Structure 1
Amino acid sequence: MTDLDIWVRRGCATVVAAVAAYASYEHQREFALHGGADPTGASLWPLSVDGLLVLATVGLLMPNRQGNLRARCAVHLAFFLGIAISMAANVAAAPTLAWQPALVAGWPPVALLLAVALLARGNLT
Protein backbone atom coordinates (compact mmCIF):
# COMPACT_ATOMS: atom_id res chain seq x y z
CA MET A 1 0.00 0.00 0.00
CA THR A 2 1.44 3.40 -0.97
CA ASP A 3 1.59 6.47 1.26
CA LEU A 4 -0.95 8.20 -1.00
CA ASP A 5 -3.35 5.27 -0.63
CA ILE A 6 -3.02 5.39 3.15
CA TRP A 7 -3.68 9.14 3.28
CA VAL A 8 -6.68 8.86 0.94
CA ARG A 9 -8.19 6.14 3.12
CA ARG A 10 -7.57 8.12 6.31
CA GLY A 11 -8.97 11.24 4.66
CA CYS A 12 -12.14 9.40 3.65
CA ALA A 13 -12.57 8.08 7.19
CA THR A 14 -12.12 11.62 8.52
CA VAL A 15 -14.78 12.92 6.12
CA VAL A 16 -17.19 10.19 7.25
CA ALA A 17 -16.56 11.12 10.90
CA ALA A 18 -17.02 14.85 10.23
CA VAL A 19 -20.25 14.31 8.27
CA ALA A 20 -21.56 11.99 10.99
CA ALA A 21 -20.86 14.60 13.68
CA TYR A 22 -22.49 17.37 11.65
CA ALA A 23 -25.53 15.29 10.70
CA SER A 24 -26.22 14.08 14.23
CA TYR A 25 -25.58 17.37 16.07
CA GLU A 26 -29.04 18.87 15.49
CA HIS A 27 -30.80 15.57 16.25
CA GLN A 28 -28.93 15.27 19.54
CA ARG A 29 -29.62 18.92 20.37
CA GLU A 30 -33.34 18.47 19.73
CA PHE A 31 -33.32 15.29 21.82
CA ALA A 32 -31.71 17.17 24.73
CA LEU A 33 -34.25 20.01 24.45
CA HIS A 34 -37.15 17.55 24.59
CA GLY A 35 -35.44 15.84 27.50
CA GLY A 36 -35.60 19.01 29.58
CA ALA A 37 -32.24 20.65 28.93
CA ASP A 38 -32.15 24.43 28.68
CA PRO A 39 -31.13 25.85 25.25
CA THR A 40 -27.47 26.27 26.22
CA GLY A 41 -27.24 22.83 27.78
CA ALA A 42 -29.00 21.31 24.77
CA SER A 43 -26.45 22.95 22.46
CA LEU A 44 -23.58 21.53 24.53
CA TRP A 45 -25.06 18.05 25.09
CA PRO A 46 -24.10 16.71 21.62
CA LEU A 47 -20.53 17.85 22.23
CA SER A 48 -20.35 15.65 25.33
CA VAL A 49 -21.49 12.63 23.33
CA ASP A 50 -19.25 13.35 20.34
CA GLY A 51 -16.37 14.39 22.60
CA LEU A 52 -16.53 11.01 24.31
CA LEU A 53 -16.52 9.36 20.89
CA VAL A 54 -13.45 11.35 19.81
CA LEU A 55 -11.56 10.42 22.98
CA ALA A 56 -12.53 6.77 22.65
CA THR A 57 -11.62 6.74 18.95
CA VAL A 58 -8.16 8.05 19.72
CA GLY A 59 -7.83 5.31 22.33
CA LEU A 60 -8.96 2.65 19.87
CA LEU A 61 -6.46 3.79 17.27
CA MET A 62 -3.52 3.73 19.68
CA PRO A 63 -1.22 0.73 19.37
CA ASN A 64 -2.34 -2.13 21.58
CA ARG A 65 -0.18 -2.11 24.68
CA GLN A 66 0.16 -5.45 26.40
CA GLY A 67 -0.82 -5.59 30.05
CA ASN A 68 -3.32 -2.72 29.96
CA LEU A 69 -6.49 -4.74 29.45
CA ARG A 70 -8.56 -2.68 31.90
CA ALA A 71 -7.81 0.54 29.98
CA ARG A 72 -8.61 -1.11 26.63
CA CYS A 73 -11.94 -2.36 28.01
CA ALA A 74 -12.75 1.15 29.27
CA VAL A 75 -11.96 2.62 25.84
CA HIS A 76 -14.18 0.06 24.09
CA LEU A 77 -16.98 0.63 26.61
CA ALA A 78 -16.76 4.43 26.15
CA PHE A 79 -16.88 4.08 22.37
CA PHE A 80 -19.83 1.72 22.25
CA LEU A 81 -21.72 3.66 24.93
CA GLY A 82 -21.17 6.87 22.94
CA ILE A 83 -22.41 5.19 19.76
CA ALA A 84 -25.47 3.80 21.58
CA ILE A 85 -26.38 7.20 23.09
CA SER A 86 -25.83 8.91 19.74
CA MET A 87 -27.97 6.32 17.96
CA ALA A 88 -30.77 6.58 20.53
CA ALA A 89 -30.80 10.39 20.45
CA ASN A 90 -30.69 10.52 16.66
CA VAL A 91 -33.51 8.03 16.15
CA ALA A 92 -35.63 9.57 18.93
CA ALA A 93 -35.34 12.97 17.23
CA ALA A 94 -36.55 11.64 13.86
CA PRO A 95 -39.74 13.40 12.75
CA THR A 96 -41.62 10.09 12.84
CA LEU A 97 -40.63 6.57 13.78
CA ALA A 98 -41.26 5.25 10.28
CA TRP A 99 -38.39 3.29 8.75
CA GLN A 100 -37.14 6.05 6.40
CA PRO A 101 -36.80 8.91 8.93
CA ALA A 102 -35.36 6.49 11.49
CA LEU A 103 -32.81 5.24 8.94
CA VAL A 104 -31.82 8.77 7.94
CA ALA A 105 -31.52 9.88 11.56
CA GLY A 106 -29.75 6.72 12.73
CA TRP A 107 -27.20 6.44 9.93
CA PRO A 108 -24.56 8.96 11.19
CA PRO A 109 -23.57 6.96 14.29
CA VAL A 110 -23.51 3.74 12.26
CA ALA A 111 -21.25 5.37 9.66
CA LEU A 112 -18.93 6.58 12.42
CA LEU A 113 -18.88 3.13 14.02
CA LEU A 114 -17.92 1.48 10.73
CA ALA A 115 -15.26 4.09 9.86
CA VAL A 116 -13.61 3.73 13.27
CA ALA A 117 -13.85 -0.07 13.13
CA LEU A 118 -12.06 -0.06 9.78
CA LEU A 119 -9.36 2.27 11.09
CA ALA A 120 -8.92 0.34 14.31
CA ARG A 121 -8.62 -2.98 12.48
CA GLY A 122 -5.79 -1.59 10.42
CA ASN A 123 -7.65 -1.76 7.12
CA LEU A 124 -7.19 1.97 6.55
CA THR A 125 -3.77 2.49 8.06
Structure 2
Amino acid sequence: MRAHLARVDAVLVQALIAAALSFAHLHDIAAAAGQDGWKAWAYPVSVDLLLVAAWRRLRTGHAKAAPWCWFVIALTASLGANVATAGLLDTDQVPAWLRILVAGWPAIAFLGGTLLAHTTPTRVPATAVPVAVDAEHEDQGPTPEPVAQPAVEPIPHPVIEAAPEPVAISVPAALVDHARKVAAEHHTRTGAPIDTPTLRARLGVPAPMADAIAAQL
Protein backbone atom coordinates (compact mmCIF):
# COMPACT_ATOMS: atom_id res chain seq x y z
CA MET A 1 0.00 0.00 0.00
CA ARG A 2 2.79 2.43 0.88
CA ALA A 3 4.64 1.57 -2.35
CA HIS A 4 1.48 2.26 -4.34
CA LEU A 5 0.98 5.63 -2.63
CA ALA A 6 4.62 6.56 -3.21
CA ARG A 7 4.31 5.72 -6.89
CA VAL A 8 1.13 7.77 -7.22
CA ASP A 9 2.72 10.70 -5.36
CA ALA A 10 5.76 10.62 -7.66
CA VAL A 11 3.58 10.63 -10.77
CA LEU A 12 1.45 13.46 -9.35
CA VAL A 13 4.50 15.59 -8.54
CA GLN A 14 5.93 14.99 -12.01
CA ALA A 15 2.61 15.93 -13.61
CA LEU A 16 2.41 19.14 -11.56
CA ILE A 17 5.95 20.14 -12.56
CA ALA A 18 5.31 19.48 -16.26
CA ALA A 19 1.97 21.33 -16.16
CA ALA A 20 3.49 24.36 -14.41
CA LEU A 21 6.38 24.64 -16.87
CA SER A 22 4.16 24.17 -19.91
CA PHE A 23 1.68 26.67 -18.46
CA ALA A 24 4.42 29.26 -18.06
CA HIS A 25 5.82 28.69 -21.55
CA LEU A 26 2.41 29.07 -23.17
CA HIS A 27 1.86 32.30 -21.21
CA ASP A 28 5.22 33.67 -22.37
CA ILE A 29 4.48 32.86 -26.03
CA ALA A 30 1.02 34.46 -25.84
CA ALA A 31 2.46 37.57 -24.16
CA ALA A 32 5.22 37.83 -26.79
CA ALA A 33 2.60 37.56 -29.55
CA GLY A 34 0.74 40.62 -28.22
CA GLN A 35 -1.78 38.98 -25.85
CA ASP A 36 -1.20 40.90 -22.64
CA GLY A 37 -2.88 40.82 -19.26
CA TRP A 38 -5.44 38.12 -18.45
CA LYS A 39 -5.53 37.05 -22.08
CA ALA A 40 -2.00 35.67 -21.90
CA TRP A 41 -3.01 33.51 -18.90
CA ALA A 42 -6.11 32.21 -20.69
CA TYR A 43 -4.09 30.57 -23.48
CA PRO A 44 -2.40 27.84 -21.40
CA VAL A 45 -5.76 27.07 -19.74
CA SER A 46 -7.32 26.64 -23.18
CA VAL A 47 -4.55 24.32 -24.40
CA ASP A 48 -4.62 22.17 -21.25
CA LEU A 49 -8.43 21.87 -21.31
CA LEU A 50 -8.34 20.71 -24.93
CA LEU A 51 -5.69 18.14 -24.03
CA VAL A 52 -7.77 16.81 -21.13
CA ALA A 53 -10.98 16.70 -23.21
CA ALA A 54 -9.28 14.81 -26.04
CA TRP A 55 -7.63 12.33 -23.66
CA ARG A 56 -10.89 11.68 -21.83
CA ARG A 57 -12.69 11.07 -25.13
CA LEU A 58 -9.94 8.62 -26.14
CA ARG A 59 -10.42 6.69 -22.88
CA THR A 60 -14.23 6.57 -22.93
CA GLY A 61 -15.33 6.88 -26.56
CA HIS A 62 -15.35 4.42 -29.46
CA ALA A 63 -14.46 6.75 -32.33
CA LYS A 64 -10.71 7.43 -32.07
CA ALA A 65 -9.91 9.53 -35.15
CA ALA A 66 -11.31 12.90 -33.99
CA PRO A 67 -9.99 12.68 -30.39
CA TRP A 68 -6.53 11.73 -31.65
CA CYS A 69 -6.58 14.69 -34.07
CA TRP A 70 -7.43 17.24 -31.39
CA PHE A 71 -5.04 15.63 -28.91
CA VAL A 72 -2.18 16.00 -31.40
CA ILE A 73 -3.16 19.62 -32.11
CA ALA A 74 -3.16 20.56 -28.41
CA LEU A 75 0.03 18.60 -27.74
CA THR A 76 1.75 20.34 -30.67
CA ALA A 77 0.76 23.74 -29.26
CA SER A 78 2.14 22.82 -25.83
CA LEU A 79 5.39 21.31 -27.14
CA GLY A 80 5.82 24.17 -29.60
CA ALA A 81 5.66 26.70 -26.77
CA ASN A 82 8.16 24.69 -24.71
CA VAL A 83 10.63 24.49 -27.61
CA ALA A 84 10.14 28.10 -28.72
CA THR A 85 10.95 29.48 -25.28
CA ALA A 86 14.21 27.49 -25.10
CA GLY A 87 16.09 30.27 -26.88
CA LEU A 88 14.92 29.46 -30.41
CA LEU A 89 12.51 32.40 -30.61
CA ASP A 90 13.28 36.06 -30.21
CA THR A 91 10.42 37.25 -28.04
CA ASP A 92 11.09 40.85 -29.08
CA GLN A 93 10.70 40.01 -32.79
CA VAL A 94 7.86 37.48 -33.01
CA PRO A 95 7.11 36.46 -36.61
CA ALA A 96 3.77 37.36 -38.14
CA TRP A 97 2.66 33.75 -38.65
CA LEU A 98 3.03 33.08 -34.92
CA ARG A 99 0.96 36.16 -34.07
CA ILE A 100 -1.75 34.92 -36.47
CA LEU A 101 -1.64 31.43 -34.95
CA VAL A 102 -1.89 32.73 -31.39
CA ALA A 103 -4.74 35.09 -32.33
CA GLY A 104 -6.69 32.29 -34.03
CA TRP A 105 -6.14 29.68 -31.30
CA PRO A 106 -9.29 30.52 -29.24
CA ALA A 107 -11.55 29.73 -32.19
CA ILE A 108 -9.66 26.48 -32.89
CA ALA A 109 -9.84 25.41 -29.24
CA PHE A 110 -13.54 26.26 -29.02
CA LEU A 111 -14.29 24.19 -32.13
CA GLY A 112 -12.30 21.23 -30.83
CA GLY A 113 -13.84 21.37 -27.36
CA THR A 114 -17.36 21.63 -28.77
CA LEU A 115 -16.89 18.65 -31.08
CA LEU A 116 -15.37 16.53 -28.33
CA ALA A 117 -18.02 17.43 -25.74
CA HIS A 118 -21.19 17.29 -27.84
CA THR A 119 -20.47 14.61 -30.43
CA THR A 120 -21.45 11.17 -29.19
CA PRO A 121 -20.53 7.98 -31.04
CA THR A 122 -23.48 6.20 -32.59
CA ARG A 123 -24.06 2.62 -31.61
CA VAL A 124 -26.12 0.22 -33.66
CA PRO A 125 -28.09 -2.04 -31.28
CA ALA A 126 -27.66 -5.72 -31.98
CA THR A 127 -31.39 -6.42 -31.54
CA ALA A 128 -33.90 -7.61 -34.03
CA VAL A 129 -35.65 -4.90 -36.06
CA PRO A 130 -39.37 -4.85 -35.22
CA VAL A 131 -41.71 -5.46 -38.13
CA ALA A 132 -44.26 -2.71 -38.69
CA VAL A 133 -47.90 -3.85 -38.55
CA ASP A 134 -50.40 -2.34 -40.95
CA ALA A 135 -53.17 -0.59 -38.99
CA GLU A 136 -55.84 -1.60 -41.54
CA HIS A 137 -55.17 -5.33 -41.09
CA GLU A 138 -54.39 -5.24 -37.35
CA ASP A 139 -58.00 -5.92 -36.13
CA GLN A 140 -59.09 -8.44 -38.75
CA GLY A 141 -58.51 -11.39 -36.45
CA PRO A 142 -56.26 -14.38 -36.96
CA THR A 143 -55.26 -15.27 -40.47
CA PRO A 144 -56.90 -18.55 -41.60
CA GLU A 145 -54.49 -21.38 -42.10
CA PRO A 146 -54.16 -22.57 -45.70
CA VAL A 147 -55.68 -25.93 -46.56
CA ALA A 148 -53.01 -28.51 -47.13
CA GLN A 149 -53.11 -29.88 -50.67
CA PRO A 150 -52.07 -33.47 -51.35
CA ALA A 151 -48.58 -33.61 -52.62
CA VAL A 152 -48.25 -35.00 -56.13
CA GLU A 153 -44.98 -36.71 -56.68
CA PRO A 154 -43.55 -36.16 -60.14
CA ILE A 155 -42.89 -39.24 -62.24
CA PRO A 156 -39.16 -39.61 -62.66
CA HIS A 157 -37.96 -39.91 -66.21
CA PRO A 158 -34.88 -41.91 -66.94
CA VAL A 159 -31.99 -39.78 -68.00
CA ILE A 160 -29.96 -41.32 -70.75
CA GLU A 161 -26.48 -39.93 -70.85
CA ALA A 162 -24.66 -40.14 -74.13
CA ALA A 163 -21.24 -41.66 -73.92
CA PRO A 164 -18.57 -39.07 -74.62
CA GLU A 165 -16.82 -39.59 -77.87
CA PRO A 166 -13.07 -39.99 -77.60
CA VAL A 167 -11.17 -36.98 -78.82
CA ALA A 168 -8.39 -37.80 -81.19
CA ILE A 169 -5.14 -36.09 -80.20
CA SER A 170 -2.63 -35.51 -82.93
CA VAL A 171 0.94 -35.90 -81.78
CA PRO A 172 3.75 -34.41 -83.86
CA ALA A 173 6.21 -36.97 -85.22
CA ALA A 174 9.15 -35.06 -83.77
CA LEU A 175 7.62 -35.32 -80.31
CA VAL A 176 7.11 -39.06 -80.76
CA ASP A 177 10.75 -39.48 -81.79
CA HIS A 178 11.88 -37.50 -78.78
CA ALA A 179 9.66 -39.63 -76.56
CA ARG A 180 11.26 -42.80 -77.95
CA LYS A 181 14.69 -41.45 -77.05
CA VAL A 182 13.52 -40.60 -73.54
CA ALA A 183 11.96 -44.07 -73.16
CA ALA A 184 15.13 -45.77 -74.41
CA GLU A 185 17.30 -43.75 -72.05
CA HIS A 186 14.97 -44.64 -69.16
CA HIS A 187 15.04 -48.34 -70.06
CA THR A 188 18.85 -48.31 -70.29
CA ARG A 189 19.19 -46.55 -66.95
CA THR A 190 16.55 -48.46 -64.96
CA GLY A 191 16.11 -51.72 -66.90
CA ALA A 192 12.31 -51.21 -66.97
CA PRO A 193 10.05 -49.65 -69.57
CA ILE A 194 8.99 -46.11 -68.89
CA ASP A 195 5.48 -45.56 -67.47
CA THR A 196 3.06 -42.87 -68.58
CA PRO A 197 3.39 -40.53 -65.52
CA THR A 198 7.19 -40.55 -65.83
CA LEU A 199 6.94 -39.93 -69.58
CA ARG A 200 4.56 -37.06 -68.96
CA ALA A 201 6.89 -35.53 -66.37
CA ARG A 202 9.93 -35.88 -68.64
CA LEU A 203 8.19 -34.37 -71.67
CA GLY A 204 6.12 -31.74 -69.81
CA VAL A 205 2.92 -32.44 -71.75
CA PRO A 206 -0.71 -32.82 -70.60
CA ALA A 207 -2.04 -36.21 -69.50
CA PRO A 208 -4.13 -36.94 -72.66
CA MET A 209 -1.16 -36.22 -74.93
CA ALA A 210 1.12 -38.36 -72.73
CA ASP A 211 -1.36 -41.26 -73.08
CA ALA A 212 -1.42 -40.79 -76.86
CA ILE A 213 2.39 -40.77 -77.03
CA ALA A 214 2.64 -43.85 -74.80
CA ALA A 215 0.25 -45.68 -77.11
CA GLN A 216 2.60 -45.07 -80.04
CA LEU A 217 5.77 -46.24 -78.29
Taking structure 1 as the reference length, what is the TM-score of the superposition? 0.58
Q: Return the alpha-carbon distance in structure 1 between the equivalents of residues 22 and 48 of structure 2.
A: 9
1:82 to 1:4, Cα distance in 2 relative to 1, 3 A: farther
Q: CA deviation at 1:28?
A: 0.7
Percentage identity across aligned positions? 33
Q: CA deviation at 1:19?
A: 2.1
Q: RCO (CA 8 Å, sep 6+): is it higher in 1 or 2?
A: 1
Q: Return the alpha-carbon distance in structure 2 between the equivalents of residues 32 and 83 of structure 1.
A: 16
Paired residue total: 88
Once the two structures are superposed, the pairs formed by residues 1-125 of structure 1 within 5 Å of their partners are 12-62=10-60, 68-69=62-63, 72-94=64-86, 96-97=87-88
Larger % of helix: which? 1
Q: CA deviation at 1:7?
A: 6.7
**Matched residue SS, 2:71:** helix
Larger Rg: 2
Q: Return the alpha-carbon distance in structure 2 between the equivalents of residues 59 and 8 of structure 1.
A: 28
Q: Return the alpha-carbon distance in structure 1 between the equivalents of residues 72 and 19 of structure 2.
A: 16
Q: Return the alpha-carbon distance in structure 2 between the equivalents of residues 90 and 20 of structure 1.
A: 10
Q: CA deviation at 1:49?
A: 0.4
What residue ranges of structure 2 are gaps of 5+ in the alignment? 89-217
Q: Which amino acid aligns with 1:24?
A: S
**Matched residue SS, 1:19:** helix
Taking structure 2 as the reference length, what is the TM-score of the superposition? 0.35
Q: Return the alpha-carbon distance in structure 2 between the equivalents of residues 57 and 84 of structure 1.
A: 14
What residue ranges of structure 1 are gaps of 5+ in the alignment? 98-125
1:6 to 1:81, Cα distance in 2 relative to 1, 3 A: farther
Q: Which amino acid aligns with 1:86?
A: S
Q: CA deviation at 1:13?
A: 4.2
1:43 to 1:86, Cα distance in 2 relative to 1, 3 A: same
Q: Which amino acid aligns with 2:85?
A: A
Q: Which amino acid aligns with 2:58?
A: L
1:89 to 1:15, Cα distance in 2 relative to 1, 3 A: same
RMSD between aligned alpha carbons? 2.3
Q: CA deviation at 1:80?
A: 1.0
